[in-house]
């Protein structure tokens, strides 16, 4: 169930922009549904995302995998998933810092990839925690369910930030594409003949 929710959220992030392009925007504007943030909005968004990432990291660090009294195989797998989540958060924060210094489409795309990677890592970790809760025993059930709720909360907040950022990235790409086409360097331009 948890994995299905994660995949549904991810699929929605991919499909939503497609629907937004069915209506025609004003000339020179990104498709409706996509919104390019101005510089101050973008700086504020990055600050909010970084603050959220710091909070998510603290929430993740409050998860005590060793306290779940698992067998060695499950403990190793859960520890690996946990480490992937923390690494994904570190990568996300690194890209946020880079974008705070200079915005480029390349770094925007890297952050979008990192956000999606973080979502996948959280989904996997949540899935493993839910399996621990389903297995029950050793008092791990309640504690594991509490951790599942905590991770789902992070995942939900992450999905909102990712959707907002994805709209910005797609709008930014459309603007750059339009500028390149206008300058005669875009994909719609025939190659120069010698």
Taking CA atoms, 112 is separated from 23, 116, 134, in Å, by: 25, 6, 33
Assess if residue 28 is contained within a domain: no
pLDDT at 70: 77
Report the percentage of the chain scoring pLDDT > 70: 74
CATH number of the domain that residue 167 is part of: 1.20.120.230
pLDDT at 153: 94
Q: Which residue has the tokens 């992030």?
A: 13
Q: What mean pLDDT comes out for the span 136-145?
A: 69
Structural contact between residues 127 and 3, judged by C-beta atoms closer than 8 angstroms: yes
pLDDT at 83: 94
Q: Which of 42-56, 65-79, 175-189 has the lowest mean pLDDT?
A: 175-189
CA separation for the pair 157, 84 (Å, rounded): 18
pLDDT at 140: 61
Assess if residue 108 is contained within a domain: yes
Higher-pLDDT residue of 95, 129: 95
CA of residue 178 relative to chain centroid, distance: 26
Q: Which of 83-87, 140-144, 149-153 has the lowest mean pLDDT?
A: 140-144
Q: Which of 53-62, 86-95, 159-168, 169-178 has the lowest mean pLDDT?
A: 169-178
pLDDT at 102: 92
- 165 lies in which domain range? 2-9+38-177
Assess if residue 131 is contained within a domain: yes
- Is residue 132 predicted with pLDDT exceeding 50? yes
List of residues 6+ apart from 131 with CB closer than 8 A: none
pLDDT digits (tens, 9 = 90+) for 100-119: 999 888 999 999 999 999 99
Provide the number of structural domains found in the chain.
Answer: 1
- Provide the angle, in degrees to the nearest 10, between the axes of the packed helices 140-182 and 105-135: 160
Assess if residue 90 is contained within a domain: yes
Q: What is the DSSP letter of 165?
A: H
Assess if residue 186 is contained within a domain: no
What does pLDDT average to over the chain? 79
Assess if residue 22 is contained within a domain: no
Assess if residue 73 is contained within a domain: yes
The pair of three-digit structure tokens given for residue 193, joined into one six-digit string: 């003949």
Assess if residue 184 is contained within a domain: no
Each residue of 67-80: b (16+ CB within 10 Å) or e? ebebeeebeeebee
């Amino acid at each position: 169930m948890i994995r299905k929710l994660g995949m549904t959220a991810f699929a929605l992030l991919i499909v939503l922009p497609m629907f937004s392009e069915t209506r025609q925007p004003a000339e020179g504007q990104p498709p409706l549904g996509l919104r390019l943030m101005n510089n101050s909005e973008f700086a504020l968004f990055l600050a909010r995302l970084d603050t959220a990432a710091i909070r998510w990291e603290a929430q993740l660090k409050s998860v005590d995998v060793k306290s779940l009294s698992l067998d060695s195989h499950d403990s190793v797998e859960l520890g690996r998933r946990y480490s992937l989540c923390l690494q994904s958060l570190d990568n996300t924060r690194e890209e946020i810092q880079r974008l705070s210094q200079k915005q480029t489409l390349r770094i925007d795309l890297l952050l979008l990839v990192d956000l999606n990677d973080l979502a996948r890592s959280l989904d996997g970790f949540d899935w493993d925690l839910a399996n621990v809760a389903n297995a029950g025993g050793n008092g791990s059930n309640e504690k594991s369910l509490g951790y599942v709720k905590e991770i789902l909360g992070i995942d939900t907040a992450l999905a909102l930030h990712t959707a907002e950022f994805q709209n910005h990235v797609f709008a930014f790409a459309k603007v750059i594409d339009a500028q390149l086409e206008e300058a005669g360097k875009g994909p719609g331009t025939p190659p120069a003949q010698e």
